[in-house]
Chain A
Amino acid sequence: MSDISITAASTVTGADLPAARLGQRFGRLDQQSQLALLAVAALNINFDEFPRDRTGICLAASAGSLSTDVNYWNGRNGIGGPSPTLFAYTLPSAAVGEVAIHFRLTGPNLCFVGDDQIVLPEAADLIRRGEADACVCIFCEVVTADCGKMISAPAVASAHALFLKKGGGLHGWREFDRDMKALCALISPTKSAG
């Protein structure tokens, strides 16, 4: 039996954003941070049940912050220059910070640029090393149409989230469980922020 379990899963897409209501300041976040926040909210985890400083965050962003970087760069010739708010999101780890602030999670956090294969093993490692009791795992894929042309990739806007915690459960985590999208579909095929 696994010593770590997955207790919740969620998937959200760009289509979920217009109806999202996560505070007055949600609108100023870049799309990647909005999706990450919404995916974690859709987990419906009561974070009060876990010590805030023992709950980690582990996020991977498939294209880093490229779409926001390009938006920021495109604003350089406008009057007044590019948006200062946007500048704050020209780092892939910005989404981690927004999740931490919104849910008041002060445990360890990690951010990776690339696919989702590393997220769950790293989160499990945090838990097994005793640095966290639980970990919010997020995989963001945000590529705007403009960026898609630059990197020859299709446009996409989605985030997948899983919640890992110490101890066994219905969905025990195994070392080869790395595909977050597949796990989200398997564990919670219909759950979405809507």
Chain B
Amino acid sequence: MQISTHELKSKIIESLKLQDITPEQIDDDAPLFGTGLGLDSIDALELVVLLEKDYGIVIKDIEEGRPAFRSVRTLADFITAKCPQ
């Protein structure tokens, strides 16, 4: 199953309750944490919950998840590769 970055960005905005930002304003390749979207460690946990709730993906090893959380595109690729359906 191919996950579109637009769909993922909408889910991120909803899950993290980001205000005054649209999917179009988020660069697919910009860093999610620190610079770029400026997310923090609590947001990372919220994204882990999002993956489990919406895609059935459980991240047990943080080292496995770390590269996936680099940007929206890497996260979409990760979901596409891991998605059970």
Contacts and interface: CB of A to CB of B under 8 A. Distances in A.
Interface stretch (B17-25, B63-71, B77-85): B17-25
B20 A21 contact: yes
A84 B53 contact: no
Given A28-B16, A78-B53, A79-B52, A84 B45 contact: yes
Contacts of B48: 80, 84
Interface residues of B, number: 16
B29 interface: no
B49 A80 contact: yes
B46 A27 contact: no
Contact of A88 (B16, B17, B42): B42
A23 B42 CA distance: 17
Residues of B contacting A: mostly: helix
Interface string A57-91: 00000000000000000000011110111001000
A21 B18 CA distance: 11
Interface residues of A, number: 15
A24 B42 contact: no
Contacts of B16: 27-28, 85
A129 interface: no
B46 A83 contact: yes
A26 interface: yes
A27 B15 CA distance: 10
B20 A81 contact: no
B46 A24 contact: no
Contact of A84 (B18, B21, B38, B42): B42
Contacts of B43: 85
Contact of A85 (B19, B38, B46, B53): B46
A88 B83 CA distance: 30
Nearest to A20: B19
A84 B49 contact: yes
Interface string B32-52: 000000100011011011101
Interface of B: 16-21, 38, 42-43, 45-46, 48-50, 52-53
5 contacts: A21-B19, A21-B20, A24-B38, A27-B17, A28-B16
